[in-house]
Amino acid sequence: MNRWRKAFTILAATAMGALALPAAATASTEPEPVQYVALGDSYASGVGAGDYIPDGTLCLRSNNAYSAIWADDTGADLDFQACGGAQIPDVYSSQIDALDEETDLVTISIGGNDVGFAGIMIGCTVLPDFACIDKVDKAEADGRDRVAGELEQLYADLDAAAPNATVVVMGYPKLFSEVTCSYNAGISVAEQRRINDGVLVMDSIIREAAEAQGFRYADPVPTFEGHGSCAHPMYVHGLRGFAPESYHPTSLGQSDGFLPAFETAL
Tell me the three state secondary structure of residue 232.
coil
How far apart (Å, rounded) are the C-alpha atoms in residues 66 and 36?
12
State which amino acid sits at residue 165.
Answer: A
Residue 42 bears catalytic tag: yes
**Contact in structure between 172 and 219 (CB atoms under 8 Å):** no
Residue 248 bears catalytic tag: yes
How far apart (Å, rounded) are the C-alpha atoms in residues 135 and 116?
9
CB atoms within 10 A of CB 104: 16
* Residue 34 DSSP symbol: P
Helical H runs in the chain? Answer: 2-28, 42-45, 66-74, 88-94, 117-126, 129-142, 148-161, 189-212, 221-224, 251-252, 259-265
Question: Which of 109, 248, 251, 255 is flagged as catalytic?
Answer: 248
Phi, psi of 88 (to 5 degrees): -55, -45
Q: How many helices (H) and strands (E) does the chain have?
A: 11, 5
Question: Which of 42, 67, 229, 246 is flagged as catalytic?
Answer: 42
- Contacting residues for 147 by C-beta, under 8 A, at least 6 apart: 88, 111, 114, 115, 205
How far apart (Å, rounded) are the C-alpha atoms in residues 245 and 169?
22
State which amino acid sits at residue 139.
Answer: A
Report, as residue numbers or ranges, the catalytic residues.
42, 248
